[in-house]
Chains A and B, each alone.
Chain A
Amino acid sequence: GQNIDQPTEMTATEGAIVQINCTYQTSGFNGLFWYQQHAGEAPTFLSYNVLDGLEEKGRFSSFLSRSKGYSYLLLKELQMKDSASYLCAVRDLNAGKSTFGDGTTLTVKP
């Protein structure tokens, strides 16, 4: 099975940088995803890491260390619209099933 841990809540200031951590223990691993979910809406895909290292995409970056079972999502130049829940998910070896963490609710303050 999979066990995924991420902080429940975080608060940051507009324009700042925030790092959301995710640790996982898995019986199989085929990639790690980050999704953004605004209240009452569907999750939207942010990033996918399958190899160790940093993937940068605009203001968002995602890092993976498979040996440590650790990932983080880095958000730069925070905007008010970044206030949302950020979900970390690990994909099983069979490339179908993904296990999600409970999400980190990020609040961006002026």
Chain B
Amino acid sequence: NAGVMQNPRHLVRRRGQEARLRCSPMKGHSHVYWYRQLPEEGLKFMVYLQKENIIDESGMPKERFSAEFPKEGPSILRIQQVVRGDSAAYFCASSPQTASYEQYFGPGTRLTVT
């Protein structure tokens, strides 16, 4: 049973470009969470999604950031017009519908903005 998958593992973008981060939850999991981790810091919650629904986006910056979890396919975190401060590790976690406290993390995408 494959775990949470994220791709790409490493992403380099120039300032002003768009970054698209993908997350495929574990099989049977319908809840997805995105977190950002700056160097030497803890994880900061960004957004919580279920299929086709954004449940809690209180941690998302108001501009340039968006997330979706379509009926088919992976969850996508999109960052438009990236800036240097967006450089971080972005982790996705998923949980099953019946036990939402069990969050399983993916390996993360390390975004570097040059």
A101 nearest CB neighbor, chain B only: B42
B100 at interface, CB cutoff 8 A: yes
CB distance from A87 to the nearest CB of B (A): 6
* A97 contact from B42, B45, B104, B108, Cβ within 8 A: B45
Whether B101 lies near A31 (C-beta < 8 A) is: yes
Whether B42 lies near A96 (C-beta < 8 A) is: no
Whether B100 lies near A95 (C-beta < 8 A) is: yes
Q: Tell me the bound Cα distance from A43 to B89 in angstroms.
A: 12
Q: Tell me the bound Cα distance from A91 to B31 in angstroms.
A: 15
Contact size range, B: 20 to 34
Whether A98 lies near B91 (C-beta < 8 A) is: no
A29 at interface, CB cutoff 8 A: no
Q: Tell me the bound Cα distance from A87 to B105 in angstroms.
A: 13
Those 8 A-B pairs whose CB atoms lie nearest each other, nearest first: A96-B48, A42-B105, A102-B42, A100-B42, A100-B43, A103-B42, A96-B56, A43-B105
Query: Which residues of B are interface residues toward A (Cβ below 8 A)?
Result: 31, 33, 35, 41-45, 48, 55-56, 58-59, 91, 100-108
